Amino acid sequence: MNKPVRRIAIFCGLLVFALLLRDNWLQFVQADELKDHEHNRRVLIARYSQPRGNIIVDGNAITGSVETDSTDFKYKRTYKNGEMWAPVTGYASQVYGSNQIENLEDKILTGDDDRLFFNRTVDMFTGKERKGGDVITTLNSKAQQAAFKGLGDKRGAVAAIDPRTGKILALASTPSYDPSTIAGGTDKDEDAWKALDKKNNPDDPMLNRALRQTYPPGSTFKVVTAAAALENELYGSVDEPTDTPLPWTLPDTRVQLKNEGNIPCKNASLRVALQYSCNTVFGKISADLGNKKMKEQAEKFGFNEEVFTPVRADASIYPKDNRPQNAMAGIGQASNRATPLQMAMVAAAIANDGELMEPYMVDKLRAPNLSIIEQHEPKPMGEPISSDTAHKLQDIMETVVEKGTGKNARIPGVTVGGKTGTAQHGVSNSKNPYAWFISYAKGDNGSPVAVAVVIEGSDTTRDDIAGGRLAAPIARSVMKAVLDSEK
């Protein structure tokens, strides 16, 4: 072979080698990336070529699929009571993708999960239309209805948990939206999407306030401060005096911490201080314990970490801070921030005798042939407090409902514990405060429900905004719905 031919052969060989290398790179390295690429329309066409599996609550589907006139997408997603369930389901849109359970369990819902291979094979040989699997949730429909109805036209959120297992029973957020309006298949989807965008809608209806919004928890955090006092043996009893002067001055300052009204806070016991929500008592406890111990106690309840339900919940924050700010954080102010889910977790751990269960909202994954392919097992998340401390906190939280600021949460014949909160909002408390309530109810088999409610904004006049007035009645209706469903 002469030299020119040899060079051409080598060059052609290099071209073939480069082609094979590129082909294998595409097939084995970039395959998943290209498959999931947002501009790969074939994936979308395949996803909407068959009915999507459903999200199930109490044995009933809260989602569906309907045929469209589109030449590309044969089916689109539908939702029942979409506004009420949006914080749970999220959306699945032909145009805008998906989020929350619709996104996290997409492979089950579309039937692409590897665990559904046998079902896909059988359907292929029998000629059946391919279907996705179902996601069975832990939600309680009556509790969700009570939460959503209670919130009404207010901005706010509700999170309810079964303290014994960690099952999420209700997850409501208002204002909300109907995912059906952006599911695709109509010319109105773009307008609906723009109307939901925070830039065009200050109410931000797509924000999941129960999981993704943190607020100053206000006086509801005082139960965590009380827990820290008992766990660190600052006091041995909930009825002994706390040696708290009145007035009390924030450490390293000349600023006196105020209480709301003329209430018996001087040297008040933990029981009396929680009953009347004494800022001075709990501010001093936080200062006496110091930032490190307060932060450690908050973190035992789940603060400073994201929570996956499997939908991600933002981390609640108990900050590393200076002495005066730490005292304010001890009463749920300053840089202290919490999601409604987090405060429901606090109430749940206390109700469950000190053991905190991992919160979750997906109970089972089910194949199209109704066989269960995955079952969630409840998992302990930790033990933030001892059972002795939990019983003491239950005792004083029940006093709050029986004799204190939480009377609107009382349920005849049921033991209810709770704590109200009214958290300052805005520079120098210039905006309407947030109204909070956390609680639990006891049944014959322990405590089946713990609830956190926050009202971010409402038409209520400023002087009437208080957790006991606005949030406690909503918590009461949610707890009652759960108790009634257990009968």
> Could you tell me the two tokens for 245?
């002067």
**Can you list the alpha helix ranges (DSSP code H) found in 50-166?**
82-89, 100-104, 106-110, 117-126, 141-151
Beta strands of 234-350 (E only): which ranges? 248-249, 256-257, 307-308, 312-313
Residue 75 and residue 19 in contact, taking contact as beta carbons nearer than 8 Å: no
In whole angstroms, give the CA distance from residue 343 to residue 483.
20
In whole angstroms, give the CA distance from residue 454 to residue 421.
9
With a CB cutoff of 8 Å and minimum separation 6, the contacts of 13 are none
On the question of a cis peptide bond just before residue 264, with omega within 30 degrees of 0, the verdict is no
Query: What's 293's DSSP letter?
Result: H
Give the containing element (helix H, strand E) for 276. Answer: helix 270-276
- In a 3-state reduction of DSSP, which class is residue 423? strand
> Could you tell me the two tokens for 15?
């071209």
Write the CA distances from 447 to 124, 287, 349, 382, 433, integer angstroms: 48, 33, 10, 18, 30
Residue 454 and residue 210 in contact, taking contact as beta carbons nearer than 8 Å: no
Which residue has 């029998």 as its token pair?
126
In whole angstroms, give the CA distance from residue 186 to residue 184.
6
| 206-223 burial: b if 16+ Cβ within 10 Å, else e | bbbbbbbbbbbbbbbbbb
State residue 38 phi and psi, 5-degree precision. -60, -25
User: Using only C-alpha atoms, what is the Rg of the chain?
Assistant: 27
Write the CA distances from 288 to 127, 277, 285, 327, 440, integer angstroms: 72, 18, 5, 9, 29
> Could you tell me the two tokens for 17?
């080698």
Which of 478, 484, 485 lies closest to 148, judged by CA? Answer: 478
The secondary structure of 359-397 as a DSSP string is PBSEEEEE-TTS-EEEE----EEE--S-HHHHHHHHHHH
User: Where in the sequence numbering do the catalytic residues fall?
Assistant: 219
Give the containing element (helix H, strand E) for 398. Answer: helix 387-403
